[in-house]
Amino acid sequence: MRQKKVKLRKFDYFGVRNMKVMKVLCPACGEKAIIRTTNRKHRQFADLYCQCTDLECGMTFVLNVTFSHTLSPSAKDVNKMIDKLLPDNKQMALDLLKAPIA
């Protein structure tokens, strides 16, 4: 007999269908779980309140999600650094970028 599951909402609006989604599994039975609410405590830390889709299990639990480390730095950070340079240092950086490759 097939296990009864909670119906999942389909993500087929505004092009969200092809978006990568974090998959959450129930720690008790291993079935898929649904993120019901998110409580963002900080820009880099959140509590996810989840529910197992297996009706016989029915477990509800909280996941802590946190930022770990950067793999590739943001290009926006480089622009901020350039904006904070003194005018002489900006000119020197521009001259170095324009210099011919030897």
Query: Domain 16-66, CATH 2.20.25 — does that match?
Result: yes
CB atoms within 10 A of CB 61: 14
Rounded CA gap, 39 and 46, in Å?
6
Question: Would you list the DSSP string of 35-88?
Answer: EEEEEEEETTEEEEEEEESBTTT--EEEEEEE----SS--HHHHHHHHHHS-HH
Q: What are the structural domain ranges in the chain?
A: 16-66
Pair 8, 17: CB distance under 8 Å? no
pLDDT on residue 41: 95
Statement: residue 34 has pLDDT above 90: yes
Tens digit of each residue's pLDDT (9 = 90 or more) over 60-94: 999 999 999 989 877 777 777 778 888 888 888 88
As a whole number of angstroms, the distance between CA 77 and CA 79 comes to: 5
User: pLDDT-derived band of residue 2, with 50, 70 and 90 as boundaries?
Assistant: low
pLDDT of residue 57 exceeding 80: yes
